[in-house]
Structure 1
Amino acid sequence: MAVRAGVYRGVSAADRVAERRTRLLAAGLTIWADPGVRTTMTAVCAEAGLSERYFYESFTGLDALLEAVMNDIAAEIETTSRRAAEAAEGGPAERVHAAVRAFVELLLDDPRKGRVAIVESVAVPKLRQRRTELLRYLAHQSAIEAQRLLGARVDEVAGLLFIGGMAELVTAWLDGTVDATADEIVAAASRALLGLYDT
């Protein structure tokens, strides 16, 4: 029986590339979030169990990998928060609370994501602009969600104020300079968002 081109042990070449990319992204998150390890392509490849040849199959360099890690985290924050709001029972305040809780629980489940996206990305000069772009994108989405959930007008300034404040709060929380429980963080952030869009 002829072997299909590009298929090895029943897995296509495209699927193998995608699986290696996923491993590199996971390794990048692990290495980047570890303050005791220098973030290098060699360290990422070692963590992923892949050679540098496979690294370049998916990424042009280390910065491209780290940017992809940031993009994935931002997309997960957006998707997780929106789904929680849509699934919540009750009125607008309950939906806002559910969205904020989903975000905080995401960070509790994997603190590396908050540290990488909000804290560590500032230390990489080539990623600072991307961090700013992602925060502004999330601010815009926050303003749109406030319109959908609360009937508020789309206020970009309020959105940026909320997301910027959340970024600073999460940074202090992850660093241990703010002593608060997850419930307290959720309650304070929910009050802030509702207050900013109080109509």
Structure 2
Amino acid sequence: MPTGSRTWGGTTLTDRKAARREQLLAAGLDLLGNEGIPAVSVRAVCRHAKLTERYFYESFADREELVLAVYEGVAAQAHQALVDAVPDSSRDPEVRAEAAVTAFVELMLDDPRKGRVLLLAPTTDPTLSARGVSLLPAFAALVREQLPTRTSELDREMTAIGLVGALANLFIAYLNGTLEVSREQLIAHCVRLLSRAETHS
């Protein structure tokens, strides 16, 4: 029987390893999302997860690999939330825009840790900044797919990239406290940006 398949206490070694990895990722999300990049060290993550460093290195080569895994996990959740929010492109542009913005707000603001990880952490960490740039096309593609096809592909691409940048900066300003508006005002403004682009593109 393969080592990973052997059971102990009702679970396999593979299952326990996966559970420890999730504990470490959860600890990384807490530290990165609440205290920022400087708070994330191997020792701090292990202490927060109540695991030894031995188990940290079982799942991650170093601190940077954990931080990147936390970031990519949140980015994947954000992308999926947007995909799920606008499954029907035939709906009214404003309805689609409101569904997308609301889904993003629920993920980023209802759990501010995720908003800080996805939008604020890359501003202070070069590795996350580079990864964020590489993920931009995937988010821009979601916006581009909602834009009317009567304009050229290039125009739609530029509009989508511009909208993603504008929306990201609005959320960054909201999360870091430099934009003092209500949640409802933020959503309404973002919806107007998206729905106008969909109407006039």
TM interval, short-chain normalised: 0.7 to 0.9
Segments of structure 2 that go 5 or more residues without pairing to the other structure are none
Give the distance between the partners of 1:152 and 1:89, measured in 2 at CA. Answer: 15
Alignment partner, residue 132 of structure 2:
131
Q: What amino acid maps onto 2:164 in structure 1?
A: I
Alignment partner, residue 22 of structure 1:
22
Query: How big is each residue's C-alpha offset from its partner over 1:85-120, in whole Å with a ceiling of 9 and x where there is no partner?
Result: 238995332122111111011122100111111112
Give the distance between the partners of 1:152 and 1:111, measured in 2 at CA. Answer: 38
Give, in angstroms, the shift of residue 158 of structure 1: 1.4
Whether the aligned pair in 1 keeps the contact of 2:83 and 2:142 (CA below 8 Å) is: no
Give the distance between the partners of 1:90 and 1:160, measured in 2 at CA. Answer: 22
TM-score by length of 2: 0.86
* Cα distance change on mapping 1:107 and 1:152 into 2, 3 Å: farther
Whether the aligned pair in 2 keeps the contact of 1:33 and 1:112 (CA below 8 Å) is: yes
Q: What amino acid maps onto 2:78 in structure 1?
A: I
Alignment partner, residue 51 of structure 1:
52
Give the distance between the partners of 1:182 and 1:49, measured in 2 at CA. Answer: 36
Alignment partner, residue 116 of structure 2:
115
Give the distance between the partners of 1:102 and 1:120, measured in 2 at CA. Answer: 21
Report sequence identity in percent: 35
Segments of structure 1 that go 5 or more residues without pairing to the other structure are none
Secondary structure in structure 2 of the residue aligned to 1:183: helix
Alignment partner, residue 181 of structure 1:
182
TM-score by length of 1: 0.87
* Cα distance change on mapping 1:137 and 1:88 into 2, 3 Å: closer
User: 1:155-170, aligned counterparts within 5 Å?
Assistant: 155-170=156-171
Query: How big is each residue's C-alpha offset from its partner over 1:101-154, in whole Å with a ceiling of 9 and x where there is no partner?
Result: 11011122100111111112221122221121123321223212x14xx55665
Give the distance between the partners of 2:196 and 2:137, measured in 1 at CA. Answer: 20
Give the distance between the partners of 2:150 and 2:161, measured in 1 at CA. Answer: 15
* Cα distance change on mapping 1:143 and 1:87 into 2, 3 Å: closer
Give, in angstroms, the shift of residue 161 of structure 1: 0.9
* Cα distance change on mapping 1:48 and 1:122 into 2, 3 Å: same
* Higher alpha-carbon deviation: 154-163 or 174-183: 154-163
* Higher alpha-carbon deviation: 101-110 or 4-13: 4-13
* Higher alpha-carbon deviation: 32-41 or 102-111: 32-41
Give the length in aligned residue pairs.
Answer: 193
User: 1:2-17, aligned counterparts within 5 Å?
Assistant: 5-17=5-17
* Cα distance change on mapping 1:16 and 1:91 into 2, 3 Å: same
Matched, 1:82 2:88: no
Alignment partner, residue 72 of structure 1:
73
> What is the RMSD computed on CA atoms of the aligned residues?
2.3
Whether the aligned pair in 2 keeps the contact of 1:25 and 1:69 (CA below 8 Å) is: yes
Whether the aligned pair in 1 keeps the contact of 2:71 and 2:128 (CA below 8 Å) is: no
Give the distance between the partners of 1:74 and 1:5, measured in 2 at CA. Answer: 32
